[in-house]
Structure 1
């Protein structure tokens, strides 16, 4: 086996490497073309990518359950959480614990509603989460009227904006969350069950996996991370506005699929999601430097997602043609079952 073949074989289980390579390439191109990028100036990109990384990790867990599950309520959860946190905390550290708990309970509550609609009632995730997002949008309008001001807790502001040794604190928080997610996916029983559920629900059920419980937990994780992201993002921008979470709908999906998580479920990569988040922010930064309108920026991001999904579909089709059924006709569980990429 040649070095190239070994590398390609290794990348099959470590798909995050492609987004990491893309980050380096785009960063080098920007450095050469603009002569403005450096290791210090890129910290702003990393800071912006930190918020996207957190919210995309939740989307990653939902996509990993398979069946085309996507959480479309993420923008509404993020926005409402920012408003609720500002209302509860009122700019005082004395109310910080109450504000964090309010954000957590909000995320858990919305996760419970989404899980009930999808897992118990059986409504497709796209429809269920989109509908709950509309309801949350109305709640956000009411919160917007009730908010007394935009004072931000000093501690929250520090976490959202401060730097340690030139590295944003939020980047440290995001990276720690990525490492935790990677450990859970690769080494925990839950991670193996999540992978098994996404690959084949029937096979996972026969293996004793509580499929419905695993699927429901993904919506809890997604809403909770979206809510916490809203908490930090509100502190970063110094307030909240009605459309603050909208940009993260497409970007959260793009970061997950570009990072290497299979859109069909069954295999996730937390590090890939992180690198893809940085890549998307770099691409947006490039388009902003070129003074491209917002519509064009969204179009480019959409094209990137379509290309990745098309490549994923080609890869799945090719793997399906190579796969042969067992002689006894029993369902085959993929060799990747229970193995989630870090």
Structure 2
């Protein structure tokens, strides 16, 4: 038995599929740059291998949420442009500046800290100003935009920073025709125009996330920021399936069946006995649980391919394991149980799990825990 097959569980990451997805996304955006978003450990897929594969496929930027994520990319030897956007007071501004990372600023407190760090480092900071165009989360409100732009421009003139980008983020780009999309796009154009009138000359203007990259070409500007689409998942079933967009899911989550046994009718399964066998049957034990990121909320609903047949979790998901009712079929201990993947072999997809757990596919892949090793497969796809 090879080393991969002997693992309790594994998340296989198809880097050839990721590279193909990046190329497909690049083909959709003309001359715009592509930022590969690798925050949250590349949505659970492994940040460094995925970032490297994305750059190989033509991405020119990498995007992270936290500063530590960005610094880890640099520590791994990854070059190119890296942007980080989720800061708190006292964050490692100087480290980021010295590591040649573009930092995002949404308010005056952050701009002051960036300026102080750049003065200490003796190196101009690369700063991107984020506008809150309607998401109501991070970003500078329109009423405060003039103050932030003025202060950033003054810092540019003093030589302590360079404004490299103006950007924002959509609230409802995954909901076709939502009125907020046009409102946000208009607000972004107005805020960019104001900043440029005041002397800001950014390298890139960007607002397009995965759904906007796929369906709203008017939002592409100078750069797009696909996240979930890069990993081959649709940002919304309403927009289409991965195949509709020429994308292929990158992660396959599988485990080794740990036990197969006969059980009589009326046998309770797992905590609380939410499931009781209706007849004599066979049971299979899958050694994955909510400590590994399997949603407890999917108890009784989560689909699993075992023995070539899709089955449902029987009873509650426990911390480390769950049970499937094999309907009297016999499989072997050591056989594979596939929770989700591209669907080629009849296995469920991450979207199937999202429906079973009443959530979104983003959460399904990002929640897979550190006890599950990532096995990165390079693949041999043409052009990969």
| TM-score between both structures, scaled by the size of structure 2 | 0.26
Q: Report 1 or 2 for greater relative contact order, CA contacts < 8 Å, sequence distance ≥ 6.
A: 1
Structure whose residues are more often helix by fraction? 1
Quick check: which has more Rg, 1 or 2? 2
Structure whose residues are more often strand by fraction? 2
